[in-house]
Amino acid sequence: MSDFKRNILVTGGAGFIGSHVVRLMVKKYHDYRIVNLDKLTYAGNLANLDDVAQSPNYCFVKADIADFEKVSSIISEYQIDGIIHLAAESHVDRSIKDPFTFARTNVMGTLSLLEAARRHWQSGDGDFAGKLFYHVSTDEVYGALELDSPEGEAPYGSELFLETTRYNPHSPYSASKASSDHFVRAYHDTYGLPVVISNCSNNYGPNQFPEKLIPLFINNICHNRPLPVYGRGENVRDWLYVEDHAEAIDLLFHNGRIGETYNIGGFNEWKNIDIVRLLVKIVDRLLGRSEGQSDSLITYVTDRAGHDLRYAIDSSKLAGELGWKPSLQFEEGLERTVRWYLDNRKWTEGVTSGDYLRYYQEMYGNR
């Protein structure tokens, strides 16, 4: 028997959001064993977890979630009773170029985890008693919202994504996540597997892989490189600081209602071009440059295929049931984020150079 009160498997725990979830739970729950399962593809970086790597209640396992036999053995070996599933291919541009990889990881990988959990948990005492499969998804499964400018408190439009909003994915990435959501619900409805699903808006903060807008542009401003903005930068996204998302995941894992879906958002909509201008202002100030010095780096490029115009999440259900709300205003969170990247340039350099991947390949192999 395990010496721990609970044994939690976090998939994708070396990635951006996953590493924040792992860190939070390792530090908060000393009587939980947190098992970090990650394939260590380009977006997985164990340096994200240096501060908890030696903790007695943390362990790392390199594995592919689509490897059913391996996943099954991990659930059995570590006596896993809860899964927080974050592992996913998540970059829309990559999904357009390579949709098969997204289908394999996001759909078949999720199915592999679901079936392994079902077989192991259902064969034990209590028939799923004390077990939970928590699936972390995205607001992109809902499609796109209209962009308008009514007067009042909703400058980009009054409509928001609800948990009951019809799925309407527009990219291979969002289609693969929508499919994985459906499999999770199907396992609950068919087998009685205890599940919770959350769909979150855009995250930002420390340790984000620098192909995403905010870390990419911070790095580009530092090096006086172009800031390529799709279209005219009119696309609107709802932004949430990653540590607030991790807190919401922790709350839902422990208190969410079985079989329910919860939206997690920041009530914080920004046009892409406005974020870029704000980033320029913050980075230039923190680097001691004159205000607006880097504005000339902004360039407009051909819009992405199937680029959704607006996402906006309604988190009222989560707020009403569990009292969750974001802790940071966007300007405060963005400045904190910029300071982190400026203070951790070695991390960014290691990621952009690929040194971290070579290190892990030598340590764990290419399996």
What does the buried/exposed string (b/e) look like for 69-84 if buried means 16 or more CB atoms within 10 Å of the residue's CB?
A: ebbbebbeebebbbbb
- Nearest residue to 79 via CA among 32, 135, 111, 25: 32
* Cβ 327 vs Cβ 240: under 8 Å: no
Tokens of 146: 């209209």
**Active site (catalytic) residues:** 139-140, 173
Please state, in angstroms and rounded to a whole number, the distance separating the CA atoms of residues 73 and 111: 16
One-letter amino acid of 136: V
- Residue 7 pairs with which residues in a beta bridge? 33
How far is the CA of 194 from the CAs of 94, 142, 188, in angstroms?
32, 23, 6
In whole angstroms, how large is the CA radius of gyration of the chain? 20
Please state, in angstroms and rounded to a whole number, the distance separating the CA atoms of residues 53 and 59: 8
* Cβ 237 vs Cβ 142: under 8 Å: no
Distance of CA 336 to the CA centre of its chain: 19
Please state, in angstroms and rounded to a whole number, the distance separating the CA atoms of residues 134 and 226: 39
Tokens of 248: 């919401």
How far is the CA of 55 from the CAs of 7, 50, 90, 212, 335, in angstroms?
15, 10, 29, 30, 30
- Nearest residue to 10 via CA among 68, 69, 88, 67: 88
Please state, in angstroms and rounded to a whole number, the distance separating the CA atoms of residues 52 and 14: 12
Torsion on CA atoms 246, 36, 210, 222, rounded to nearest 10: 80
One-letter amino acid of 213: L
Residue 83: in which H helix or E strand, if any?
strand 82-85
- Cβ neighbours for 344, distance < 8 A, ≥ 6 positions apart: 206
